[in-house]
Amino acid sequence: MIKADIGIIGGSGLYKMDALKDVEEVQVDTPFGAPSDALIVGTLEGTRVAFLARHGRNHHLMPSELPFRANIYAMKQLGVKYLISASAVGSLKEEAKPLDMVVPDQFIDRTKNRISTFFGEGIVAHIAFGDPVCGQLAGVVADAIANLNLPDVNLHRGGTYICMEGPAFSTKAESNLYRSWGATIIGMTNLPEAKLAREAEIAYATLALVTDYDCWHPDHDSVTVDMIIGNLQRNAVNAQKVIQETVRRLSENPFTSDAHSALEYAILTPLDKVPAATKDQLNLLLQKYL
């Protein structure tokens, strides 16, 4: 059975991890369909890790098309306990410059069209989500960034990530509205992942890599893909260094997170009243509570 302790989801620009050794490509099937791509399981800093390109290795899936449930369930099937999500983001604050890294601690949901729960079909659960990322894992990621001292990269500990539907970027009115809410960064992918990871009792943290100033900044042109391609490439190199350092630190100091028992008091439906087909489908999440 192929196993990995740490999962890595690579976003725009990060389609592979060059430093992985003893690599196996695993086609994982889940009750929620196929993930975005094969999972690449390999050794990094002596630990087995599983890498998944969120949009597929050729970036063929839009944010609204991503199989979020399959992606998180596939990680769970491999035994992943810690999940690091690398993501390209626009900046909503002057001080968060392109190439900077933000480790957010909050999200605001502006998506319209995402399935963000494994529950339903005869079972109801409400996970606590006041602190949507695992503070311990976020701390390890932030410490890794601080320790690396990458040129032209400032670290921002904490901040709010607006998750919009896309695929079009925001209007200036929207961008300024999010700024008035005090948000730090904007992207299109991380909130459904964070919710599903919490339901799957996987500790989740975001490594947000700033590519642009969205469209609010008077001294910068509005974001276009063409404009951010160079930053995506530089960010991908930096992200791999941060992920490697994070994995090294995690392997040396593994921890138990509240996320690892998130379902303990979340399920309202008596488990003996849950339809058998639903119980089967969610077996991996429910087995420890049966």
Ligand X SMILES: CSC[C@H]1O[C@H](OP(=O)(O)O)[C@H](O)[C@@H]1O
Ligand Y SMILES: Nc1ncnc2[nH]cnc12
Q: Catalogue the active-site residues.
A: 212, 214
What residues between 222 and 281 interact with ligand X by CB under 6 A?
A: 225
Q: Which is nearer to ligand X, 42 or 187 (CB)?
A: 187
User: Given the rule CB under 6 A, which of 84-92, 147-155, 266-274, 278-286 is the region that contacts ligand Y?
Assistant: 84-92
**In sequence order, which ranges of 166-268 are alpha helices (DSSP H)?**
172-180, 190-199, 225-252
CB of 169 to ligand Y, least distance (A): 5
DSSP state letters, 3-41: --SEEEEE-TT----TT-EEEEEE---BTTB--SS-EEE
The Cα-based distances of 55 to 36, 189, 238 in angstroms read 6, 10, 19
Q: Map residues 155-174 to x or -, x wherever contact with ligand Y holds by CB under 6 A.
A: ---------x----x-----
What residues between 85 and 114 interact with ligand X by CB under 6 A?
A: 87-88
User: Given the rule CB under 6 A, which of 21-29, 206-214, 243-251, 281-289 is the region that contacts ligand Y?
Assistant: 206-214
Q: What is the DSSP letter of 199?
A: H
Where do we find the tokens 């390209």? 88
What CA–CA distance (Å, rounded) separates 63 from 70?
14
Two structure tokens written together for 218: 């008077």
CB of 215 to ligand Y, least distance (A): 7
Number of residues binding to ligand X, judged by CB under 6 A = 12
DSSP strand pairing (39-44 vs 106-110): unpaired
Q: Which of 38, 96, 188, 207 binds ligand Y (CB under 6 A)?
A: 188
- Calculate the CA dihedral of residues 225, 230, 234, 236 and round it to 10 degrees: 40
Q: Is 88 annotated as a binding residue?
A: yes
Q: Which is nearer to ligand Y, 210 or 282 (CB)?
A: 210
Q: Which is nearer to ligand X, 104 or 263 (CB)?
A: 104
Q: Is 256 annotated as a binding residue?
A: no
Q: Give yes or no for residue 274 binding ligand Y (CB under 6 A).
A: no
Q: Give yes or no for residue 186 binding ligand Y (CB under 6 A).
A: yes
CB of 228 to ligand Y, least distance (A): 6
Q: Is 257 annotated as a binding residue?
A: no
What residues between 159 and 198 interact with ligand X by CB under 6 A?
A: 166, 187-189
Contact of 135 with 81, CB cutoff 8 Å:
no
98 binds, among ligand Y, ligand X, none (CB under 5 to 8 A by kind): none
What CA–CA distance (Å, rounded) separates 159 from 194?
15
What are the residues whose beta carbons fall under 8 Å from the beta carbon of 120, sequence distance 6 or more? Answer: none
Which residues are known binding-site members for substrate? 188, 212-214
Which residues are known binding-site members for phosphate? 12, 54-55, 87-88, 189
